[in-house]
Amino acid sequence: MDFAKYEALGNDYIVIDPSITGFVPLPENVRLACDRHHGLGGDGLLYGPLPAEEGFRLLTFNADGSECPQSGNGLRIFARYLRESGHTDADAFTLHSSAGPATVRVVDLDSGTVSAALGTASLDSRAVGAAGPARTLLREPLLAAGEPWEVTCVQLGGPHCVIPVAGRIADEALARTVGAAVRDHAMFLDRINVELLDVIDRETLRIEIFERGAGYTLASGSSACAAAVATHALGLTGSRVTVRMPGGEVEVGIGEDGTVTLTGVVRPVLRGRWAAGIGQRLAEGALA
Ligand SMILES: N[C@@H](CCC[C@H](N)C(=O)O)C(=O)O
Cis preceding-peptide flag for 49 (omega within 30 of 0): yes
Mean pLDDT of 223-243: 98
Q: Which domains does the chain have, with CATH numbers?
A: 3-116+267-282 (3.10.310.10), 122-257 (3.10.310.10)
Ligand 1 pocket residue status of 122, Cβ below 6 Å: no
Mean pLDDT of 181-198: 98
Which residue owns the Cα nearest ligand 1 atom 9?
A: 68
**Calpha distance 52→74 (Å, rounded):** 18
Ligand 1 centroid – CA 97 distance (Å): 12
Q: What percent of the chain has pLDDT over 70?
A: 99
Classify residue 152 as exposed, middle or buried by CB count within 10 Å of its CB (0-12, 13-18, 19+). Answer: buried
**In the 8-state DSSP scheme, what is residue 214?**
T
Q: Any binding-site annotation on 193?
A: yes
Which of 80, 193, 194 maximizes ligand 1 atoms within 8 Å of its Cβ, making it the mutation to test the pocket? 193
Q: State yes or no: pLDDT of 156 exceeds 60.
A: yes
Ligand 1 pocket residue status of 211, Cβ below 6 Å: yes
Question: Phi, psi at residue 120, to the nearest 5°?
Answer: -105, 150
**Calpha distance 282→270 (Å, rounded):** 19
pLDDT, tens digit, 9 for 90 and up, residues 239-261: 999 999 999 999 999 999 999 99
Which three-class secondary structure state does DSSP give residue 209? Answer: strand
Pair type for strands 159-164 and 193-201? parallel
Q: What mean pLDDT, rounded, does the chain reach?
A: 96
pLDDT of residue 169: 82
Ligand 1 centroid – CA 250 distance (Å): 15
Q: What percent of the chain has pLDDT over 90?
A: 94
Ligand 1 pocket residue status of 220, Cβ below 6 Å: yes
Q: Any binding-site annotation on 167?
A: no
Ligand 1 pocket residue status of 158, Cβ below 6 Å: yes
**Calpha distance 97→76 (Å, rounded):** 12
**Calpha distance 202→63 (Å, rounded):** 34
pLDDT, tens digit, 9 for 90 and up, residues 118-143: 999 999 999 999 999 999 999 999 99
**CB of 278 within 8 A of CB of 130?**
no
DSSP secondary structure string, 85-154? TTS---SEEEEEETTEEEEEEEEETTTTEEEEEEEE-B-BHHHHTBSSSS-B-SSEEEEETTEEEEEEEE
**CB of 192 within 8 A of CB of 210?**
no
pLDDT of residue 287: 56
- What confidence category does residue 286 fall into, taking pLDDT thresholds of 50, 70 and 90? low
pLDDT of residue 124: 98
Half-sphere exposure for 12 (CA within 13 Å, toward CB): 14
Mean pLDDT of 30-49: 97
ipTM for the assembly: 0.91
pTM for this predicted structure = 0.96
Position in ligand 1 atom list of the atom nearest CA 11 = 1
Ligand 1 pocket residue status of 222, Cβ below 6 Å: yes
pLDDT, tens digit, 9 for 90 and up, residues 61-91: 999 999 999 999 999 999 999 999 999 999 9
Position in ligand 1 atom list of the atom nearest CA 157 = 10
pLDDT of residue 140: 97
Ligand 1 pocket residue status of 73, Cβ below 6 Å: yes
**Calpha distance 40→21 (Å, rounded):** 16
pLDDT, tens digit, 9 for 90 and up, residues 161-186: 999 997 788 899 999 999 999 999 99
